[in-house]
A and B are shown apart, each in its own frame.
Chain A
Amino acid sequence: MSTSLLVVLLIGVVAWLGASLGLASLFGVFLPYVAVIIFIAGVVWRMVYWSKSPVPFAIPTTGGQQASLEWIKQASLDNPSTKWGVVKRMFLEVFFFRSLFRNTYAEVREDGPRIVYFSSKWLWCFALLFHYCFLLVFIRHFRFFIDPVPACITFIEAVDGVLQIGAPRLYLTGVLLLTALLFLLGRRLFNERLRYLSLMNDYFPLLLIIALVLSGMSLRYFIKTDIASVKAFTMGLVTFQPVGAEVTKNIGSLFFVHLTYLSVLLMYFPFSKLMHAPGVFFSPTRNLPNNTRAVHHENPWNDRNAPFTTYAEYEDTFRDVMVEAGLPVEKQPDAGDKE
């Protein structure tokens, strides 16, 4: 945790100093371009790496009643037997975190002794909140990338700012995003089980995103910067015509800190657990139908001619006792074998 915090702070300080020392184009232009390239190439590279290995066996985790006799109701969402069923299962998994929704918390008590199961939807709730708010905040940022700003984005902003607190108006998603992040961090710090298994690999992305959000919020609410210049700057980036120092000098260093955090996140993504996002689509315990008794599933490295003990070998070993026990045999024992 502390190492991750240090690294994240360091990234911020370096970006701040860099931007202040006139290296704005390094942190504002070069780095983002590199980051996007690494991100895209890295994600594709990892997905190709996964795809290179076959799926030898169809091993869906069945979460309910199978399709069997027609009068028995199949749990078609949790134990699909068709491709369409799998699409529905994956949809619920990806958009509503259905498996996480099942979560319980088990506690062993020494009275009895007994186990008590508590419904535990907190992780599900905050994980969902985090992902959706992150998505909305991301979409909101399109106002900086598209000119003129599309109506749907203006609409999202209007809904997001519905509380009408402060000027500029407080965005709900930003606050919820930060809350969710703090919850996710808090459980790693205060839950004994989580604390024991958490690695730098877990703290670093969390703290990085928190830093990204905090720097973004500061830009909006506290250390305001010249929005028109920012927009000119980002438009330059997306149209591949980066603007020069005449614009960047109007933009505060904090903006470059924000942009650097984003760039680091993008570059870190393909090499980290964040790959769970594309990964979930590849998961053979979720993305296959449970129809392996009805439809053949082929394993490319299956050895058709692998040896096993054949009946003939078996009978050769046991022929005499088999005959004695009155079992039918393929080959009668040789007369010579008998006394």
Chain B
Amino acid sequence: MATLPTPQQLIASRPAFPKENWMDIKPDFKPGSFCYPAQKQTMELLHMPNPHEWNPADEDWNLPENWEQILIDAFEERLKKHRSLKLFMDICVRCGACADKCHFFLGTNDPKNMPVMRAELLRSLYRKDHTMLGKILGKKVGARGWDKDVVKELFSYAYQCTECRRCSLYCPYGIDTAEITAIVRELLHEVGLGIHWIMDPVKNCNITGNHLGIKPHSFVEIVEMLADDCEEVCGIRPKTPFNEKGHEILFITPSGDVFADPGVYTFMGYLMLFHELGLDYTLSTYASEGGNFGSFTTFNMAKKLNAKMYAEAERLGSKWILGGECGHMWRVINQYMDTYNGPAPAHMMDVPTSPITGTQFTNAKSTKMVHITEFTADLIKHNKLKLDPSRNDHLITTFHDSCNPARGMGLLDEPRAVLKAVCNNFVEMPEKTIREHTFCCGAGSGLNTEEIMELRMRSGMPRGNALRYVQQKYGVNHMACVCAIDRATLPPLANYWAPGVSVSGVHELVANALVMTGEKKRTMDLRQEDLPNVDGGDE
């Protein structure tokens, strides 16, 4: 990875708006500005249309011969399938309210990164083929036809959008550029264009059950190791049930948390919590992925990967599913899962019910899937957990709302309720950057890849800036989140924009504070770092 410019250089290097009309500016693919292309072999394995070798940096992208017709037909088909698309193409008034809501625009000052312009890239094509005035007047009224540079431009900007929906919140008609981006990505896939960082996990998930391609035996091995680590910390080795039939709950979480630092500590947190509760649950190696990179490619791929959840619940006879901390996973579960693969298997519980408190999760009546912070917040409210929040006293923590739970679900107060119960020092970031207004980590929707690190630091600037603000003002040194992608993307972001702030999932902090029956005296946290605030910890 090339060395990054300093934050000052980064911002100072944002170019001014170009003089030319945007239609006359061709996309530029210099190293670091684009994600690596998906491999032909991967695309073939997944039966994606028109797999081929290509490279964004090349002049010729080796598009299939009849690429134009494919795209025209595919666009037409999407219009027939999605009312949202027709509507969003027709009714934008270009009021610009969404313009500065996008973190990519703020970080790059590229006018085509204004959500309205990102949509115009496609809308201009729509005008030409699907509106009367566009057909007659052409460029005068912002209409244009397909050409290869247009395809490149669509690729460039569909992968500079993290589908965070912040623009949609402020739009007077709710125009959701994330929806448009999702459909543009679908179109591009029709002519064999996709990116490696998304398609590789999709392929893995399809075969091994998880994005990282961890095979069943290794998966078990890793989780066993994490259980050993738990024992090291608290003296109790939590049980690790796998693929077992007849348990009440199936627990599914993103595989990133089994594999990567600091997600693994969140996973350890789950194990310890469930052990302490004596929860009747199982993990699955087949449905070992909560996340869904398919949702960054096409609706059908998202459905295909998601199908395993219900299939596994059915096979194992689970009564309901508990879902771990993840952002896009919950967009899929909350807004798509039931439609994709529902209704849930008939044997599942009418209304998922907490076996500990008896609380019925009526909001999950149909999908039978409950968010772990809903579950834990309920436990805490009913005083079912013995907690010692002082163990987290060395942290002054803030909370990053991930885009998807915030704007595709509304999971805002549950994680906060949990956090406030397990940490004594909790500070919010500025009002316009949290809750439904939250800014993306800058690398969601499959853009958390190394080769575009500079772009990620740009798009992460609004979040980083808000974080540094509370770091300077309140001494914040920790940021919690409920998203596995965040746990991968926020550490480099914090490192760049607010060095010294650590990142974790909420349940890492829960397990740190959790007083377990029969545990040994805790002298270190889950990361096996010494706890400074423990009595006698300084001996």
Closest to A97 in B: B172
Interface string of B84-122 (1 = CB under 8 A from A): 111100111111110111000010010100101100100
Q: 4 other contacts beyond A59-B408, A63-B436, A303-B300, with CB at 8 A cut-off?
A: A93-B174, A99-B171, A290-B334, A296-B338
A53 contact from B79, B300, B339, B367, Cβ within 8 A? B79
Q: Which residues of B are found within 8 Å of A199, using beta-carbon distances?
A: 94, 141-142
Check if B406 is an interface residue, CB within 8 A of chain A: yes
B339 near A296 (CB under 8 angstroms)?
yes
Per the bound structure, the CA–CA distance linking A100 and B133 in Å amounts to 28
Q: A299 an interface residue at 8 Å Cβ cutoff?
A: yes
Cβ-defined contact, B335 with A292, below 8 A:
yes
> Cβ of B217 and Cβ of A322 under 8 Å apart?
yes
Q: B369: which of A50, A290, A293, A326 is its contact (CB, 8 Å)?
A: A293
Interface: B346 (CB within 8 A) = no
CA distance A295 to B83 in the complex (A): 21
The residue that A279 contacts in the complex, of B91, B109, B242, with Cβ under 8 A, is B91
- Show 30 residue pairs from A and B whose CB-CB distance is below 8 angstroms, ordered by the A residue: A50-B83, A55-B84, A64-B410, A64-B435, A65-B413, A68-B414, A69-B378, A73-B413, A78-B436, A99-B171, A99-B172, A100-B95, A108-B11, A113-B8, A113-B10, A193-B96, A273-B93, A276-B91, A282-B83, A283-B174, A284-B83, A285-B179, A292-B367, A296-B343, A301-B81, A303-B300, A309-B209, A311-B312, A318-B208, A321-B215
Is the pair B83, A293 in contact by a Cβ cutoff of 8 Å? no
Instruction: Contact check, A53 vs B86: say whether CB atoms are below 8 A apart.
Output: yes
B173: contacting residue among A69, A115, A276, CB under 8 A:
A276
Contact across chains for B462 and A309 when beta carbons are under 8 A apart? no
Q: How far is the CB of B159 from chain A (nearest CB, A)?
A: 21
Docked-complex contact A61 and B174, CB < 8 angstroms: yes
Closest to B142 in A: A199
Complex Cα spacing A303 to B106, Å: 40
Cβ distance B266 to chain A, nearest Cβ, rounded Å: 21
A58 contacts partner chain B, Cβ-Cβ < 8 Å: yes
Contact present for B17 and A192 (CB under 8 Å): yes
State whether B95 touches A292 (Cβ < 8 A): no
**Whose C-beta in chain A lies nearest to the C-beta of B368?**
A293
What residues on B are CB-neighbors of A193 within 8 Å? 17, 96, 99-100, 111, 114
Given A301-B81, A309-B308, A311-B311, CB of A317 within 8 Å of CB of B140:
no
- Chain A positions within 8 Å of B469 at CB level: 114
Q: Chain B nearest CB: distance from A279 CB in Å?
A: 4
Residues of A within 8 A of B (CB): 3, 46, 49-69, 71-73, 75, 78-79, 81, 93, 97, 99-100, 102-106, 108, 110, 112-115, 117, 123, 127, 187, 191-194, 196-202, 271-273, 275-276, 279-280, 282-286, 290-299, 301-303, 306-311, 314-315, 317-318, 321-322, 324-328
Q: Shortest Cβ distance from A69 into chain B, in angstroms?
A: 6
Q: Kindly state the interface size class of chain B when it binds its partner.
A: 35 or more
Q: Which of B79, B87, B165, B308 gathers the greatest number of chain A CB atoms within 10 Å?
A: B87
How many pairs of residues, A versus B, come closer than 8 Å at their CB atoms?
Answer: 319
Given contacts A97-B172, A293-B365, contact A62 B436 (CB under 8 A): yes
Is B286 an interface residue, CB under 8 A from the partner? yes
B305 / chain A contacts, CB cutoff of 8 Å = 308
Q: In the docked arrangement, what's the CA distance between A299 and B340, Å? A: 8
Verify B174–A302 contact, CB threshold 8 A. no
Contact of B54 with A by CB under 8 A: no
Which stretch (B31-39, B185-193, B356-364, B513-521) binds chain A?
B356-364
Taking CB atoms, residues of chain A closer than 8 Å to B334 are 290, 292-293
Nearest-neighbor residue (CB-CB) of A114 within chain B: B465
Residues of chain B in range 206-235 having any CB-CB distance to chain A below 8 Å: 206-209, 215-217, 220-221
**Which residues of chain A are near B259, meaning CB under 8 Å?**
none
Q: Which of B318-360 contact A (CB under 8 A)?
A: 333-336, 338-340, 342-343, 359
Please state if B410 and A75 are interface contacts (CB–CB under 8 Å).
yes
B405 CB to nearest chain A CB (Å): 9
Query: Shortest beta-carbon distance, B304 to chain A, in Å?
Result: 5
Closest 8 CB pairs of A and B: A66-B410, A285-B174, A279-B91, A325-B217, A113-B11, A62-B410, A308-B307, A286-B174
